[in-house]
Amino acid sequence: MTSETRPARVAFYNDPRLRGLFYQTLLFAVVLWLGYEFVINARDNLRAAKIATGFGFLDNTAGFGINQTLIPYTESDTYGRVFVVGLLNTLLVAVIGIVLATILGFVVGISRLSSNWLLQRIAGAYVELIRNLPLLFQILFWYLAVLGALPGPRQSISLMGEVFINNRGLFLPQPVFDAGSGVVAAAFAAGVLASIAVGTWARRRREATGRPFPVLWTTLALIFGLTILALIATGFPISFDKPVLRGFNFAGGARVIPEFVALLVALTTYTAAFIAEIVRAGILAVSHGQTEAAYSLGLRRGQTLRLVVIPQALRVIIPPLTSQYLNLTKNSSLAVGIGYPDLVAVFAGTTLNQTGQAIEIIAITMAVYLVISLVTSLLMNWYNARTRLVER
């Protein structure tokens, strides 16, 4: 029994370092082997089924029409262009959906915290109802039941004689920009720039002297005033091409296809319910002492909300909000269920059926969504690092 310590003798298979190395090598080998098997099988299967490989199909003629395109597209265009058209359609519905869902979500979320009992209950019922029904169910409901029940073009529902709704879609007046509208656009831009300048100046002055400045009214006056002045000065160069009923359908104006309307309404209301919960949780996360302190400093209710509560709540709200934006973008792929020509419907659907090149097409489609996700989360990490609470 000596007191000197000797390294305990451990069998080599009990050495955690060696064991870790062994497990990792094993896992790596298994993954490699699986990958090898997949590649070999894919090669044999493709050869047996006589399916072409590679990305050459992107230059082939697509030969099918798409009922909503943001860029010029004809049936004789290539699959590559189909991809771009689909991607743009996905981005269109995602961006508009994100804006609308954010607005609706904040309204509902704040309503859930309202002191008005009835409003609070209605907002709660909305959130519970929407969150507990599948999104595809809601998309189909809007598309088949609600929009499907709309009358034909001749019995269109008309809003003020300018906007028409029927089962062929939504018909809106389309703005036509004549010569001189550049001046109006420049005036609008100048108004926005001036507002930003005023806002910065007002904040500096408030921070230096504590005197407030009515930024909101100045901003509105600058933007709208300048634009309207420019409109009057140039003699209203912007006119509207109005939809007119000709025969069995509308001519002129801009047509929004019903698939887009159904998808947008469903995505917006669905995501808004989740955003409402995030907003509610975020505002509740700001301790009540902050509100009381703001009141005792003499800030009014609106000021307290705007200057004290919301900036702190945003720190809690933004990260989950971003993941809701991502969800909305990913969920826009449900468009395939009602035939809205998004990326999945026209590329992973029609193009895949025509060419049979499943590996390339699904890989491209997945890569697009992955890139969107990764870029968003990188931006998110950057934002989080910037707004992190600086503790002393």
Partner 1 sequence: MTDETANLAFARAQMAEALAPPAPTTGTLAWVRQNLFGGWFSTLMTLASLYLIWLIVPPVVRFLLIDAVWDGAGRDDCLAEKVGREVGACWPFIGAKLPQLVYGFYPPDQYWRVNLTLALGAALLAPLLIPRAPYKAANAVVFFGVFPVVAFFLLVGGVLGLEHVETRAWGGLLVTLVVSVTGIVASLPLGILLALGRRSQLPVIRTLSVIFIEFWRGVPLITVLFFATYMLPLFLPANWTIDALLRALVGVALFSAAYMAEVVRGGLQAIPKGQYEGAMALGIGYWRMMGLIVLPQVLKLVIPGIVNNFIGLFKDTSLVMVVSILDLLGQLRATFSDASWATPVTLFTGFAFTGLIYFAFCFGMSRYSLFIERRLNTAHRR
Q: What are the two backbone dihedrals, phi and then psi, of residue 240, each rounded to the nearest 5 degrees?
A: -120, 135
Burial readout 38-74 (b: 16 or more C-beta within 10 A, e: otherwise): eeeeeeeebeeeeeeeeeebbeeebeeebebbeeebe
d(C-alpha 213, C-alpha 382), whole Å? 32
Q: Least distance from C-beta 356 to partner 1, angstroms?
A: 9
Closest CB to partner 1 among residues 58, 135: 135
**CB-based contact 177:234 (threshold 8 Å):** no
Q: Least distance from C-beta 10 to partner 1, angstroms?
A: 12
Closest CB to partner 1 among residues 172, 278: 278
**CB-based contact 66:73 (threshold 8 Å):** yes
Closest CB to partner 1 among residues 28, 177: 28
Q: Least distance from C-beta 129 to partner 1, angstroms?
A: 7
**CB-based contact 278:321 (threshold 8 Å):** yes
Q: Least distance from C-beta 362 to partner 1, angstroms?
A: 5
What is the H or E stretch that residue 256 is in?
strand 254-256
The binding site for partner 1 (CB under 8 A) comprises 20, 23-25, 27-28, 31, 37-38, 41-42, 44-46, 48, 114-119, 122, 128-129, 131-137, 140-141, 144-145, 148-149, 330-331, 333-334, 336-337, 344, 348, 352, 358-359, 362, 365-366, 369-370, 373-374
Closest CB to partner 1 among residues 227, 365: 365
Q: Least distance from C-beta 370 to partner 1, angstroms?
A: 4
Closest CB to partner 1 among residues 231, 344: 344
- Please report, as a single letter, which amino acid is at residue 274: F
Closest CB to partner 1 among residues 53, 387: 53
Q: Least distance from C-beta 302 to partner 1, angstroms?
A: 11
d(C-alpha 355, C-alpha 62), whole Å? 9
Q: Least distance from C-beta 324 to partner 1, angstroms?
A: 13
**CB-based contact 325:45 (threshold 8 Å):** no
Q: Least distance from C-beta 295 to partner 1, angstroms?
A: 16
DSSP assigned state of 306: I
d(C-alpha 389, C-alpha 381), whole Å? 14
d(C-alpha 89, C-alpha 71), whole Å? 10
Closest CB to partner 1 among residues 272, 348: 348
d(C-alpha 331, C-alpha 351), whole Å? 20
Q: What are the two backbone dihedrals, phi and then psi, of residue 249, each rounded to the nearest 5 degrees?
A: -150, 175
Closest CB to partner 1 among residues 240, 369: 369
Q: What token pair was written down for 36?
A: 């090898």
